[in-house]
Amino acid sequence: MRYGYCVHPDYVTNESERLAFFTTLAQAGFDYVELPLFTLSSLTQEELTHLKKTLEIIPCKACNVFFPWDMKLVGPNMDMGGIRMYLERMLPLAASLGVENLVFGNGGARKIPDGQSRESIWADLRKIVEEMEIHAKKAGIPISVEPLNTTETNIINSYGEAVALAKGLSYVSAMVDSYHTAANKQTYDDVYETPEALWHIHTAYPTGRMVPSPEDEMALYSDFVQMVKALDYDGKISVEGALRATEPKEVMAELKACTETLKMLFG
């Protein structure tokens, strides 16, 4: 098992803060960082060179927040040409950074707009993942569709829906986020039904979406941990949760406690 941390966009664009925080993550025992892909699209070549240097401290093995917030993904204003151009540029860039998994969340951008049918938006999303398949295959990077909770989007709210959207594709599949699963009050039954589609995992303490801590109520992790162990999952688990601490020494202590908690939970 490898444990990563989902990094806020500010740490991508602020070089000095990035250096300090990435060093802290490495020293705290994390194996990799998960960066927001869309922020990489705005970096200059010089900034990308500096980022690659920072990634010598701790590698980037996954990226989330796949598309820019303002890209029209679905509905009458869907920009398929812009989507294709973005994929053509960003998938090779991700490969050059050593990324092994990409996450397609973008809840707001994929949301069913007022006046549009679920069927039409599903068809739009299917076109996107089919286009993703082409570019992901070329780059050699698998993409996982992320189910989100119903307060963030109104489509693809379960693992089963993510699996269905990616049906028949070889470079696009599904993932689990334990926070969203808990927020939706769902079980992991659909994961047990199609375990081969589970390519990536996000986690956080369900109450408040905080980083896992040894002081958490461990019973809240039980179904999630049971699923991971039952499936003998041995991939990457990225923490996507907020820190309670703000001071550097306290942040280090909290992040160390987080990795220790993950190792305690999953062995």
pLDDT on residue 120: 98
Length, in residues, of the chain: 267
pLDDT in tens, 159-171: 999 999 999 999 9
Distance CA 29, CA 256 (A): 7
pLDDT on residue 195: 98
pLDDT on residue 267: 78
Distance CA 43, CA 65 (A): 16
Q: Where are the domains of the chain?
A: 2-266
Q: Are 91 and 142 a contacting pair, CB within 8 Å?
A: no
Report the percentage of the chain scoring pLDDT > 70: 100
pLDDT in tens, 19-45: 999 999 999 999 999 999 999 999 999
* pLDDT, mean over the chain: 97
Distance CA 96, CA 52 (A): 9
For 2-266, CATH gives: 3.20.20.150
Give the mean pLDDT of 235-254.
Answer: 97
pLDDT in tens, 102-141: 999 999 999 999 999 999 999 999 999 999 999 999 999 9
Give the mean pLDDT of 204-227.
Answer: 97
- Does the pLDDT value for residue 18 go beyond 90? yes
> What are the distances in angstroms from CA 37 to CA 6, 34, 184, 188, 244?
11, 9, 26, 28, 25
Give the mean pLDDT of 134-156.
Answer: 98
